[in-house]
Amino acid sequence: MSEPIVPVNVETVVVHGRKVVCDGPEGGRHPRVYLTMVDDAAGKPDHVVCPYCSRVFRFGE
Ligand SMILES: [Zn+2]
């Protein structure tokens, strides 16, 4: 299983669904965006990065 390369100082959020809604971390709001997990090589949802706040959402079982 491969791990995506993630900057160490960016908040990582574990979520349980393929769809993610992000409107910013605490104290830093941005327009609400709907994100869809990027699949890994095996076709399982893996992670998605918010284009506004750079938070990383990881798929958790
Ligand atoms: Zn965000």
Supply φ then ψ for residue 45, to 5 degrees.
-60, 140
In a domain, 21, yes or no: yes
> Does the pLDDT at position 6 exceed 80?
no
Q: Are strands 19-22 and 56-59 parallel, antiparallel or unpaired?
A: unpaired
Ligand 1 centre distance from Cα of residue 58 (Å): 13
Q: Vertex 56, ends 60 and 48: CA angle to 5°? A: 75
**Residue at 30 is within a domain:** yes
Confidence (pLDDT) at 10: 74
The domain tally of the chain equals 1
Distance 53 CA to ligand 1 centre (A): 4
pLDDT at 11: 82
Distance 51 CA to ligand 1 centre (A): 7
Q: Given this model, what pLDDT does residue 40 score?
A: 94
Q: Is residue 28 part of a domain?
A: yes
Share of the chain residues as helix, strand and coil, in percent rounded to the nearest 5: 0, 40, 60
Q: Answer yes or no: is 42 within a domain.
A: no
Structural domain of 16? 8-36
Q: How many angstroms separate the CA atoms of 41 and 60, rounded?
A: 16
Gap from CA of 11 to ligand 1 centroid (Å): 10
Query: What pLDDT is attached to residue 54?
Result: 92
16-48 pLDDT tens trace: 999 999 999 877 799 999 999 999 999 999 999
Predicted confidence at residue 25, as pLDDT, reads: 86
